[in-house]
Structure 1
Amino acid sequence: MARPSKAPERRAELIEVAGRAVLERGVLNLRLRDIAEGAGLSSGSVLYYFPTLADLLQEVQREAVARFCSARERAANAKTAPGERLLSMIRSGLPTGPGDELCVLLYELGTIARRDPVYAARHITLYEQQVRIYTGILEAGAATGEFVLTTDAVSIARNLVALEDGYGLHLTQAVPTLETATAEAMLLSYARTATTNPLEERS
């Protein structure tokens, strides 16, 4: 009887090692050798599982996008009232600072999206998935009368994600230009205006 292939485990290990290497070196300075050394393999062995470094980094990006979006959906779905779901969604989207590894990884990989359409497509997917979650919450709040939206739900959702992205870049710099609490307060200020709702925690 043939032994089960260990390729899936090895591929998962290489994706994890590559993610750590991106965080340590930055995506633009990353070499295949860095990943091979981190995994205790030769560069040729890495290429056995991923034909190119770009292929490996695409998997790193795919996994990071999935983790980030899943975490945001879980945060929103942990609440039932639209206002509380919106609060949870906002609080789950901002980096905690330069040490927030998942957010830093996504921003690092996002730099390639300016030149590579494959990375760009997944970056767009990340944006659209977040817009979709926000839109669902906003439409639910409008349907129940909890929100009185000042414009259509999709436009508000897109603005919220764009604000998160912009503030996130400032929060993950080597020297952050603002604190997470400040960025969250500014996002909440916009959300309160856009939904005509105070967005306060329920006791």
Structure 2
Amino acid sequence: MADLSKREVRRREIAAAAQAVAARDGAEAATLRAIAAEAGMAANAVLYYYGSLAEITAAAVQASSDRFLARLAEAADPAMSPTVRLAAVISAGTTAGLDDDASRILYEYWTHSLRDLEHRRIQAELTRTQQATYERIIADGMQAGEFFPVLQPAKIARTLVAQEDGLVMDVLAGTASSEDVLDLVASLASALLGLDRDTLLDHIASLTFSHPGQ
């Protein structure tokens, strides 16, 4: 943060406080007063840096989305074969936001996108980026002769993202394990792309074992 202004540093601290409250106590508990207390500030002082609670929560969600997408981009290493890259992105897409509460915060505030234009923009950009990541991998896999899609690549990519979104919610709710989710998403991807399911799962298991923190 050495190159950031003091104001920007403070804004990030407030957004981080909002993330902490939402992850610990839920979005409903992330009031202006609660966020200010978490940041060690008075509520009116927080409003010096942000114009409203809505602006703070949008910043918190944006930061969580950025963290999630950074991990997804890191997983999509173009040096890997398309099949291994697919395994890496499936693993990242279902587990990357779980260890630091990024996914929990995104889900806590998901319903805000039904009413708030800024939250809707963040959610739409998150989905577009996830889908584009899969589309690039599918295109490379087709070119390499590794994938044989049964639907248009864009439809497959969107379906995989939607599957991940729903299943990660089950993990957060405690009704499914990460292992279950990885198996289901890999099974779907294999069927849609003409891949051997066990091979894809082996790649996922290898990547998960190599990066146990993810």
TM-score (norm: length of structure 1): 0.91
Within 5 Å, give how 1:68-147 maps onto structure 2.
68-77=68-77, 79-95=79-95, 101-147=101-147
Say which is worse superposed, 162-171 or 5-14, in terms of deviation: 5-14
Q: Unaligned stretches of 5+ in structure 2? A: 207-214
1:85 is paired with a residue whose SS is helix
Counterpart CA distance in 2 for 1:80 and 1:66 is 23
| AA in 2 matched with 1:181 | E
Deviation at 1:95, TM superposition (A): 3.8
Q: How many residues align?
A: 198
State the Cα deviation string for residues 132-170 of structure 1 (Å, max 9, x = none): 000000011001111111111110000100000110111
Within 5 Å, give how 1:10-89 maps onto structure 2.
10-77=10-77, 79-89=79-89
Deviation at 1:30, TM superposition (A): 2.0
2:179 aligned residue: 181
Say which is worse superposed, 71-80 or 107-116, in terms of deviation: 71-80
Does 2:195 match 1:197? yes
Deviation at 1:63, TM superposition (A): 1.1
Cα RMSD of the aligned pairs, angstroms, is: 2.1
Identity of paired residues, percent? 29
Conservation of the 8 A alpha-carbon contact between 1:97 and 1:180:
no
1:151 is paired with a residue whose SS is coil
Runs of 4+ in 1 over 6 A off after TM superposition: 96-99
Conservation of the 8 A alpha-carbon contact between 2:104 and 2:172:
yes
Deviation at 1:12, TM superposition (A): 1.2
Conservation of the 8 A alpha-carbon contact between 2:62 and 2:122:
yes
Q: Unaligned stretches of 5+ in structure 1? A: none
Counterpart CA distance in 2 for 1:19 and 1:166 is 21
1:11 is paired with a residue whose SS is helix
Counterpart CA distance in 2 for 1:29 and 1:20 is 11
| AA in 2 matched with 1:163 | Q
Counterpart CA distance in 2 for 1:154 and 1:122 is 20
Counterpart CA distance in 1 for 2:195 and 2:34 is 50
1:162 aligned residue: 162
Counterpart CA distance in 2 for 1:111 and 1:97 is 18
Conservation of the 8 A alpha-carbon contact between 1:96 and 1:171:
no
Deviation at 1:93, TM superposition (A): 1.2
Conservation of the 8 A alpha-carbon contact between 2:68 and 2:97:
no
2:210 aligned residue: none
Deviation at 1:97, TM superposition (A): 9.7
State the Cα deviation string for residues 65-100 of structure 1 (Å, max 9, x = none): 111011011012175100000000001111489765
Counterpart CA distance in 1 for 2:106 and 2:148 is 33
Conservation of the 8 A alpha-carbon contact between 1:36 and 1:46:
yes
TM-score (norm: length of structure 2): 0.86
Counterpart CA distance in 2 for 1:194 and 1:156 is 7
